[in-house]
Structure 1
Amino acid sequence: MKIVVCIKHVPDVQSERRLEDARLVRGEDDVLNELDENAVEAAVGLVEELGGEVVALTMGPEDSEEAVRRALQMGADSGVVVSDDDLAGADVVVTAHALAAAVGRIGGVESGAGVGDVDLVVTGMAALDAMTSMLPGALAAALHVPALTLASSFEASTEDITVTRTTGTLTEVLSAPLPALVSVTDQANEPRYPNFAAMRAAKKKPVDTWDLADLGIQPRRSGVDVVEARARPARQAGIIRTDAGEAGRELAAWLVDNRLV
């Protein structure tokens, strides 16, 4: 079984993120997207059960290799970084187009010809830098494979996969033949913490870096233009009231004044 797990190198949510030229600054305190750890764990666990290999795939600046190395420490067998200046500022459609071409090349086919011998593509439920959750569906559409998203649990064979997901009060059980794409939530598993031996072994695992020319595709213009971006204003100190019998009225007046009711 050949599984491609898509991951992202994102700014640490605990760090002070900032914008330059209307773009999020990357390369400072970046880490493997936390929700993608569940995707890596899902992929590695399936290969441990069914056999095969896991390829960690990411798109971003060159230092995105750090996220791939983390996935290798967690058990992925090899990695691919798609990096090209023409991909800077890519929206979800451009990103899906590039990743689909990379999945095809991993599967041994030319760009636009499908997944080849890749059986399953696994992603996290969202990237913590934007939290759109749009990539899994867009990537599945670009690959022309079924999308089973937001899986809180799953079972797979070499022929098909079944997932369970909960949306509101509704629980769904969905199945699809392979090849397919699955996105998993943080409820799907508990990501493993790599030990020292795994960290050492990861240094010897191969990581390829591909640009658009390697993928055989042309640059695409993003359909989204950032007109303006401003830093988040500093948080203001809260208001503390000592209740002397009037706090309820004061709170009601504050809600009305701020149009919150």
Structure 2
Amino acid sequence: MKFIPYIAAAAMLMTACSPDAGDAELGPLPEVSFTATPMPNKPHKIIVESTTPGAFRWLWYNGVAANPIGTRSRDTLTFPEAGEYVISLRAFGKGGSATASKKMTMEGIRRINILKGSDMETGANAHWTILNTGGDQTAIQFTGGKLVFSNTGNSNGAIYQAVTVKKDVEYTFAGKVKGNGATNTWFEVIIGTAQPEQGKDYAAFKLVSLNTWAGCGKVVFDGNLTALSCSSDGANTGTIKFDKDGTVYLVIKAGSSGGTLGTGGIQMDDVQFLEEQ
């Protein structure tokens, strides 16, 4: 699908004295105006610039959030979701403040999935490597269009894929998980720069996870792992950025200590590592 930002032709100009406008003798209200230009190859970003004479303070609004989303005379506004927005600039001058607005239609953030074999259908296993982490191995199978982790007691094991990432670009993890409730279990999505080695456990940045000791995964669950996650080395949002270009390893690791992954194990499907475009 081709994403092309579209700016509606309609524009509105609204001028009103604010409560803190001060004495009218200080000067006239500012004649507020601004330009809004789509950022090349970034359909969810708009570069806005005030062309208001004499302004010394600028507040940008998107018509949805109550608070300003920008405060500089020239700023970049980001719109995560597609839709119609009324972008407004409230500019302050010696005589008070006034507002001008433009109605715009935005495409929202475009993301692409950089994982291969993410649907877990026939042939998906060709893009993943099963990792023996040492000791008793968690059973990992591609079956029925699902990736299934299962055990009957203490075990550990993982599956991984190398991906190429870009500096300062946001990546978002998503994946469906389903289970009947586990005990003394971890189910983790880990991001690391070191290549996994067979026979060795893998530890790096834990992006999201189910962890029965932390309170999730103990009862029946079915949903997005990021939404169900209760344990992370970061903000637990499933998003991450990298400080340089290169190769990283997305590792999905599951096991139990003094428990099991539950009846039927934990199923996973539609795994995505989305790169913001």
Place the TM-score, normalised by the shorter chain, in its bin: under 0.3
TM-score, normalisation: structure 1: 0.24
TM-score, normalisation: structure 2: 0.23
Bigger proportion of residues as helix:
1
